[in-house]
Amino acid sequence: MKKAVDVEIMGQKFTVSSDAEESYVRQVAGYVDGKMQEVLKTTRPAAKSNVAMLAALNIADEYYRLKDRHDAMLNRLNHLSKRLSTTLTEEG
């Protein structure tokens, strides 16, 4: 069941409707706010929309790097699982 959660990002209040736990929604909003604050400290863009866009690009970069690592790990586990299965079959 969706519930409304009030969060604050860059000093602006938002109401987020989500099935997730309130603490999780707040954690995600805090992460986004932190990324936007990082952009402000390093680049000083003029408009909040520019800050949001640069923060979104940073978050997308993190996501794709983690996704690549995750996919590589799954491939490695799949390979090791097949080797183990083959070894057990040969010995069995």
Residue 35 burial by Cβ neighbours in a 10 Å radius (0-12, 13-18, 19+):
buried
pLDDT of residue 23: 97
pLDDT of residue 46: 72
pTM of the model: 0.80
Query: Where in the chain are the domains?
Result: 3-91
Residue with the two structure tokens 């909040």: 48
Greatest Cα-to-Cα distance within the chain, rounded to the nearest angstrom: 68
Could you list the pLDDT tens digit for every one of the 92 residues in the chain? 899 999 999 999 999 999 999 999 999 999 999 999 999 998 876 788 899 999 999 999 999 999 999 999 999 999 999 999 999 998 76
